[in-house]
């Protein structure tokens, strides 16, 4: 029965994609860009020379910002209209979300008897469709849930090909490269080598297939933040975005963010080492560090709230007092559309009040505060969140 429910929800996105196509309605702007990138690669059009790709529909006139490997992997999308491609992407994303919850519930150190991975993954996963990062991810037809699923599988359910999925995810979107370091910190050196090797191998493949695009991306596009969008916007929930809002886009914003990120990375490395026997916790530390230090972490990148809620629910169900307090805070933070409520866009962030500053940077401040607390507690005794009872 649970698989029927899950299948119906996933199929509903495909049906809605077909309906919007038949009615010629705009839908899934980011999926349309993915599809246009794949079509450009197949037809020999340059991916990065212009801000708009030739086959983009009128409602998705955006630059292609992903590495050229992504365009190659998006090629199956070209066989259907963009709205239908959006529906398929979202159906796969829903399955990936539930799969992430299932793997996490299987790998947490403990969980209550009522939180069985089979039904728990479906019910919790479908409930997490209401969180803001997931809602935005599905609305745009983004790929973040699928990439997170690749990383979670590789980190928590490794096989003899461990590291390959992380390498693929990093080749599509560079931030998963941080998990190469994660593998080294937890003693999985071979997986780190496979991840790095897969990433490099896929880049080499693109230099052979599309040398102009590969060269253009790695010598120019990867450094051009103007193609991504207004990085001072409140929806950029990274350290760099927060400091840009504080400083009104001062030239020193990103270097300062990198400096703070380096300090946080040291603390995160300590936590990952201490949580080596709790791989789900270690994975979350690395995932959230990646979101913080990336120059751009849009709201829909913060789908790492999904495995975090699963871990907290398991701990809270076993009587953990800290988790019982942290769980509702996490759910409220990532479910309420706070960033839609406060002034945003057109430089309104520069006139934020102190209240706006706190809540408008909530995604950034939350893991920083939580990480500092965990680091302090773990240096004194066994972390509360890992204690039994």
Give pLDDT, residue 136.
96
Q: Look at residue 226 and tell me whether its pLDDT is greater than 80.
A: no
Q: Look at residue 383 and tell me whether its pLDDT is greater than 50.
A: no
- Contact (Cβ atoms closer than 8 angstroms) between residue 67 and residue 199: no
Q: How confident is the model at residue 320 (pLDDT cuts 50, 70, 90)?
A: confident
245-296 pLDDT, tens per residue? 999 888 899 999 999 999 999 999 999 999 999 999 999 999 999 999 999 9
Residue whose tokens read 């929806």: 235
Q: Look at residue 346 and tell me whether its pLDDT is greater than 90.
A: no
Q: Across the chain, what does the average pLDDT equal? A: 92
Give pLDDT, residue 223.
87
Report which of 38, 34, 41, 161 is spatially closest to residue 92, judged by C-alpha positions.
Answer: 34
User: What is the SS3 assignment for 298?
Assistant: strand
Q: How confident is the model at residue 381 (pLDDT cuts 50, 70, 90)?
A: low
Distance of CA 85 to the CA centre of its chain: 20
Q: What is the DSSP string of 153-174?
A: HHHHS--TTTTHHHHHHHHHSS
Q: What whole-number percentage of the chain has pLDDT above 90?
A: 80
**Distance (Å) of CA 376 to CA 188, 206, 315, 381:** 26, 45, 19, 9
Q: What is d(CA 132, CA 128) in angstroms, rounded to the nearest whole number?
A: 9
- On the 0-12 / 13-18 / 19+ scale of CB atoms within 10 A, 271 is buried
Q: Look at residue 380 and tell me whether its pLDDT is greater than 70.
A: no
Number of domains in the chain: 1
Q: How confident is the model at residue 388 (pLDDT cuts 50, 70, 90)?
A: very low
14-23 pLDDT, tens per residue? 999 999 999 9
Q: Look at residue 386 and tell me whether its pLDDT is greater than 60.
A: no
pTM of this structure:
0.93
By residue range, what is the domain housing residue 269?
2-386
105-124 pLDDT, tens per residue? 999 989 999 999 988 999 99
Give pLDDT, residue 384.
47
Q: Look at residue 132 and tell me whether its pLDDT is greater than 70.
A: yes
Q: Which residues of 333-363 are buried (b: 16+ CB within 10 A; e: fewer)?
A: bbbeebbeebebeeeebeebeeebbebbbbb
Q: How confident is the model at residue 225 (pLDDT cuts 50, 70, 90)?
A: confident
Q: Look at residue 4 and tell me whether its pLDDT is greater than 90.
A: no
> What value does the mean pLDDT take over residues 187-202?
97
Q: What is d(CA 54, CA 41) in angstroms, rounded to the nearest whole number?
A: 11
Token pair of 326, please? Answer: 């942290």
41-73 pLDDT, tens per residue? 999 999 999 889 998 998 988 999 999 999 999
Residue 296's contacts (CB-CB under 8 Å, 6 or more residues apart) are 225, 228, 229, 231, 236, 238, 240, 241
Report which of 129, 196, 117 is spatially closest to residue 335, judged by C-alpha positions.
Answer: 129
Give pLDDT, residue 322.
86
> What value does the mean pLDDT take over residues 294-312?
96
Give pLDDT, residue 206.
97
Q: What is the DSSP string of 10-50?
A: HHHHHHHHHHHHHTT----HHHHHHHHHHHHHHHT--SSSS
């Amino acid at each position: 029965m649970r698989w029927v429910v899950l299948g119906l929800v996933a199929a509903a996105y495909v049906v809605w994609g077909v309906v919007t196509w038949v009615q010629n309605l705009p839908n899934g702007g980011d999926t349309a860009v993915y599809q246009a990138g794949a079509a450009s690669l197949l037809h020999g059009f340059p991916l990065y020379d212009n801000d708009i790709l030739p086959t983009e529909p009128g409602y998705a006139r955006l630059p292609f910002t992903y590495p050229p490997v992504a365009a190659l992997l998006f090629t199956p999308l070209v066989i259907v209209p963009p709205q239908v491609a959006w529906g398929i992407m979202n159906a796969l994303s829903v399955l990936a979300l539930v799969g992430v919850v299932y793997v996490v519930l299987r790998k947490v150190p403990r969980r209550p008897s009522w939180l069985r991975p089979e039904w728990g993954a479906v019910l919790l996963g479908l409930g997490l469709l209401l969180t803001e990062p997931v809602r935005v991810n599905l609305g745009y037809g983004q790929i973040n849930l699928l990439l997170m699923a690749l990383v979670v599988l590789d980190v928590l359910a490794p096989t003899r090909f461990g590291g390959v999925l992380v390498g693929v995810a990093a080749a599509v979107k560079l931030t998963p490269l941080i998990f190469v370091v994660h593998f080294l910190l937890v003693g999985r050196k071979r997986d780190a080598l496979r991840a790095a090797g897969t990433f490099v191998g896929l880049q080499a493949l693109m230099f052979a297939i599309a040398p102009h695009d590969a060269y253009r991306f790695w010598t120019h596009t990867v450094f051009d933040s103007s193609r991504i969008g207004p990085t001072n916007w409140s929806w950029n929930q990274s350290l760099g975005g927060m400091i840009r809002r504080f400083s009104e886009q001062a030239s020193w914003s990103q270097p300062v963010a990198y400096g703070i990120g380096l300090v946080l990375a040291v603390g995160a490395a300590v936590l990952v080492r201490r949580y080596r026997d709790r791989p789900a916790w270690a994975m979350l530390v690395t995932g959230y560090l990646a979101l913080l230090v990336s120059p751009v972490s849009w709201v829909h990148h913060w789908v790492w709230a999904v495995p975090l809620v699963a871990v907290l629910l398991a701990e809270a169900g076993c009587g953990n007092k800290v988790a019982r307090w942290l769980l509702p805070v996490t759910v409220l933070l990532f479910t309420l559309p706070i960033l839609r409520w406060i002034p945003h866009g057109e430089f309104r962030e520069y006139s934020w009040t102190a209240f706006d500053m706190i809540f408008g940077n909530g995604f950034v401040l939350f893991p920083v505060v939580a990480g500092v607390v965990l680091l302090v507690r773990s240096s004194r005794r066994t972390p509360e969140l890992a204690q039994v009872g």
